[in-house]
Chain A
Amino acid sequence: MTATATRPARPRRPHARPKGISRRTREMWLLMLPALVPVLLFSVGPLLYGIGLAFTDARNTRNHETSFVGFENLVELLSAADFWSSFRIGMIWAVSVTVLQFVAALGLALLLNENLRFRGVARVLAVVPWAMPPVVIGLMWRLVYHPDAGILNSLLGTEINWLADFSLALPAIIVVGVWTGMPQTTVVLLAGLQGIPKELYEAGEVDGASRWRRFWNITLPQLRPVIVAITSLDFVWNINQFGLVYVLTQGGPGGQTRLPMLFAYEEAFRYRFAGYASMLGLAMAIVVLAVLGLYLWRQMRETR
């Protein structure tokens, strides 16, 4: 009797799933929608569109019949001497800036981790480049390198037009790259250093390990995950660098500092070869992924 009476009397079932999507899921999508639309429309969409463009002869002009050309852009790219010179410059730039940045930042982080006076000054100074707009950094260094009114020539007693010199322009912008990217790397490494348990060093001291051995056998291995993460990120940021170098040299003199992104920018917006420039972007993305993949894979295998 009671069983039959209770049966229809269950009106409230909060987590019922009658048909299709639950109320919770609907609510979630509704909340996500305002953010999802612009990301899909202006970011995911263009990315896929851009990958598609790489296989067409699209021109960055109105009224151009675009047609599918397969791998023609890639073939053209790989046989272009100016692409290879830009690629070589990009690699020299990205690898040397990343390595120098890392070495300089590690040194500074180790010093900041010691109990030294004036540490505060260095700490603040180490963050300032981070807080500056990239354009202002570029303009500031142009003032430093300025052939007439610059301080560098007067310090060294030289008369060099640093940013217009064929062999010195690339080293000159590498210095700026290191100066610009050092802060992030230093802050991250310092955070990593402070996370190393003190007991490890105490144990090392008891065992009579020298300072150098303690650095080599405790600090570096403990810091390894942080080092791998920050150098990978630095490499990606550096190879994709555009604004800083555009402000400093615009890729000159004679293409000596024309990083791949500046090359692609010129192809796309000066000569308006949208398809060709997209292929260049795609090729660079693949190179970056390959280098990163190899690096991370080797690191993982070594730690195992």
Chain B
Amino acid sequence: MRRASQYAALAAYIVFLAFPLVWLLSTALKTPQEMALADPTWIPREPTLANFTDAFGEQDLVGAAVRSLGVALASSVITVLISLPAAYAMARYRGLVNRIAIGWVLVSQVFPFILIIIPLFMILRDLELVNTLPGLVVVHVTFTLPFALWMLQGYVRAVPPELEEAAAVDGATRLRSIVKVVAPLLAPGVVATLLFAFISSWNEFMFALVILQNPDVMTLPLTLVRFTGPEGVARLGPLAAASLMATIPSLIFFAIIQRRLKSGLMAGAVKG
């Protein structure tokens, strides 16, 4: 009896979590004619991939995806390049700086973005960076940095300092011991941080909305929101298809880190 009610509850959760996803998929596979039916169907009668090819045919969407890709690549690489040395310093020379950095990560969570984005917009305008992709890259790097630092310094801490000391005893310079000994052990952590920074930038909406007001430079999230024009229903299919495709990078990322989510990362994050 108790088992039965537990299964009923679990089924209710699965339905609640899944039905919007199923509907998105179903919409993406429908023909415009079927979309216009008075009584919508769950399973498309004539499933079609036309919406996906239509989305690829949209100049706006393809251009936006390319721009998003560029911004995400640039900001993730820059984020990791500048946070690696700092993460190394945070992990190896503990003390005041460490505490300030952690404090900043917390503060940046609590403060409403509007308080930062107004002056940031003014600064970027003075630097002629509004409506430019480099301007957005600068912002994405700045706001991914705290968490990227946090992730990386954890990975650095996992590399025992004794290894570096051993290399020093063997006559390696500090730089050499970092490049030859620490770097290879850090590789998985660097990849995880790169992916995290890439996804944050790829998904980001708020800053892009404020900084990019010219449709010619808009990133994918902005273009998707502007996509359904006055025609309404007719373009819902391609919109659903494009939305699904925009989700692929994050899904890959989550598939990779899923194991870590269940155990280490979250357990450690909560204990504090």
Interface on A for B, CB 8 Å cutoff?
A: 24-25, 27-28, 31-32, 34-36, 38-39, 41-47, 49-51, 53, 60, 62, 104, 107-108, 111, 114, 116-119, 121-122, 125-136, 138-141, 143-144, 146, 148-151, 154, 179, 182, 187-188, 191-192, 195, 226, 229-230, 233, 236, 239-240, 242-243, 246-247, 260-261, 264-265, 268-269, 274, 277-278, 280-282, 284-285, 288-289, 292
Interface on B for A, CB 8 Å cutoff?
A: 3, 6-7, 9-10, 13-14, 16-21, 23-24, 27, 35-36, 39-40, 42, 81-83, 85-86, 88-90, 93, 97, 104, 108-123, 125, 138-139, 141-143, 145-146, 149, 202-203, 205-206, 209-210, 221, 224-225, 232-233, 236, 239-240, 243-244, 246-247, 250-251, 253-254, 258, 261-262, 266-267, 269-270, 272
Q: List 13 A-B contacts (CB under 8 A).
A: A28-B93, A38-B138, A60-B121, A62-B125, A125-B17, A132-B247, A140-B23, A146-B233, A229-B270, A229-B272, A236-B110, A278-B118, A285-B112
Max count, chain B CB within 10 A of own CB: residue among A125, A139, A261, A277: A139
Q: Which 3 A-B pairs have the closest CB atoms?
A: A35-B86, A281-B115, A133-B203
Chain A residues with CB under 8 Å of B90's CB are: 32
Tell me the bound Cα distance from A261 to B24 in angstroms. Answer: 28
17 further A-B contacts with Cβ under 8 Å, apart from A45-B119, A132-B247, A182-B17, are A27-B89, A28-B97, A32-B89, A42-B120, A43-B116, A50-B115, A50-B118, A108-B13, A116-B3, A133-B250, A135-B221, A135-B246, A139-B239, A146-B236, A247-B205, A285-B112, A285-B115
Chain B residues with CB under 8 Å of A269's CB are: 121, 210
Chain B residues with CB under 8 Å of A125's CB are: 13-14, 17-18, 21
Contact of B89 among A31, A122, A281 (CB under 8 A): A31
By secondary structure, the B interface counts as: helix
Tell me the bound Cα distance from A282 to B90 in angstroms. Answer: 31
Question: Could you tell me the distance in whole angstroms from the C-beta of A259 to the nearest C-beta in chain B?
Answer: 11
Tell me the bound Cα distance from A154 to B41 in angstroms. Answer: 9
